[in-house]
Amino acid sequence: MKILLESSAIIEYLKGNKKAKEILDNAEDFYVSSLSVYEILLGKINENKMLDFLSSFKVLSVTLKDSVIASRIYKRLRDKGILIGSFDILMAAQAINRDLTLVTKDTDFLRIKGEYENFKLLILS
């Protein structure tokens, strides 16, 4: 399985969450969004240690196609009265665009999954 780890999943991994560790250990390939890097570095962490840890990941930047997909997700959800953070929508678009499974602890992503069957999502408990 090729995975895109959202910031909450990375934090869970670092906290020793067994499910997060199992997923990462068994992943065929793993990625992190530059958006998650930003979110993580906002926290009270040692920046150098975190950057060293994240250096083992392939970091995805937001592309034009990601932005187009994200805008479509946003509009579809907005039209149904569903509001989700822009970063979450962009990360979902990155996963959809690259056929990656998004791994997160954030259940807000279930709202996107409800609208996009091709959105692969794994929620940590």
Compute how many other C-beta atoms are within 10 angstroms of the C-beta atom of residue 31: 19
State the total domains in the chain. Answer: 1
In degrees rounded to 5, what are phi and psi of residue 9?
Answer: -70, -40
Which pLDDT score is estimated for 117? Answer: 87
Which pLDDT score is estimated for 125? Answer: 84
CA distance 73 to 59: 22
CA distance 87 to 93: 10
* Residue span of the structural domain in which 58 resides: 2-123
- pLDDT tens for residues 19-28? 999 999 999 9
Q: For 10-13, which contacts have Cβ atoms below 8 Å and span 24 or more sequence positions?
A: 10/36, 10/40, 10/54, 11/40, 11/43, 11/105, 12/105, 12/124
Contact 66, 86 (CB under 8 A): no
Which pLDDT score is estimated for 45? Answer: 84
CATH number of domain containing 49: 3.40.50.1010
Which pLDDT score is estimated for 44? Answer: 83
- pLDDT tens for residues 46-94? 899 999 999 999 999 999 999 999 999 999 999 999 999 999 999 999 9
pTM over 0.75: yes
Number of helical H runs and strand E runs in the chain = 7, 5
